[in-house]
Chain A
Amino acid sequence: MNGTKATLGRDIGRMLEALAGLVGVTAVVALVWGEFYVVPALAVSAAIPFGVGYALTTLFEDAEDPGKLHGMMVAASGWFAVALFGSLPFLLVAWTVELDPALLSVPSSARTSTLAAFTEPLNAFFESMSGFTGTGLTMTDNEEVLPRTLQWWRSFIEWVGGVGVIVLTTAILARPGSGSLTLYESEARSEKIHPSIVSTVRTIWWIFVLFTFVSITLLWLAGMPIWGAINHGMTGLATGGFSITDNSIATYDSVAIDFALLPIMTLGSIAFPIHFLILRGDLKNFYTDLQTRWVLGGFTLGSAFLWALVYFGGTYGSAFTALRYGLFQFVSAMSCTGFQTAVSSTNVALGNWTAAAQLTVAGGMVVGAAAGSTVGGIKLIRLATLIKGIQHRVSDVFYPASAVRRLEIDGRRLDEREARREFEEAGIIAVLWVAFLTVAMFVLLPVLPMSEYTLENVIFEVASAQGNVGLSAGITGPSMPDLGKVMFLFNMWIGRLEIIPVLVLLRVIFRRGGVYR
Chain B
Amino acid sequence: MNVERIPLIGQVLESGADDRVLDGLLLSGPIVIALIVLLGRNLLTEGIAVTYLLVFVGYVAYLGLQ
Contacts and interface: CB of A to CB of B under 8 A. Distances in A.
Nearest to A277: B17
B12 interface: yes
B44 interface: no
B60 A218 contact: no
B29 A209 contact: yes
B25 A210 contact: yes
Interface residues of A, number: 24
B15 interface: yes
Interface in A264-293: 276, 278-283
Interface of A is mostly: helix
Contacts of A390: none
A217 B60 CA distance: 17
Given A206-B15, A221-B53, A279 B60 contact: yes
B49 to A, nearest CB: 5
Interface residues of B, number: 28
Contacts of A230: 33
Given A213-B29, A279-B22, A206 B16 contact: yes
B64 A282 contact: yes
A198 to B, nearest CB: 10
Nearest to A233: B33
A226 B29 CA distance: 14
A214 B56 contact: yes
B9 interface: no
Contacts of B19: 279-280
A226 B33 contact: yes
Contacts of B52: 213-214, 217
A276 B46 contact: no
A49 to B, nearest CB: 24
Interface in A113-148: none
Given A214-B53, A221-B46, A283 B17 contact: no
Contacts of B15: 199, 202-203, 205-206
B29 A210 contact: yes
B7 interface: no
A36 interface: no
Contacts of B49: 217, 220-221
B63 interface: yes
Interface string A225-250: 01000100000000000000000000
B2 interface: no
A19 interface: no
A16 interface: no
A216 interface: yes
A206 B63 contact: no
Given A217-B53, A220-B49, A280 B29 contact: no
Interface string B39-65: 001000010011011001000110110
A199 B13 CA distance: 12
A215 to B, nearest CB: 10
Centre residue among A214, A217, A218, A226 by max chain B CB count within 10 A: A217
Contact of A217 (B17, B32, B41): B32
A220 to B, nearest CB: 6
B17 A279 contact: yes
Contacts of B32: 213, 217
Given A210-B16, A210-B22, A283-B64, 19 more contacts: A203-B17, A205-B15, A213-B25, A213-B26, A213-B30, A213-B32, A213-B52, A214-B52, A214-B56, A217-B52, A220-B36, A221-B49, A221-B53, A230-B33, A276-B17, A279-B17, A280-B17, A280-B19, A283-B61
15 contacts: A205-B15, A210-B16, A213-B29, A214-B25, A214-B56, A217-B33, A217-B36, A217-B49, A218-B53, A220-B49, A221-B46, A221-B53, A278-B60, A280-B63, A281-B63
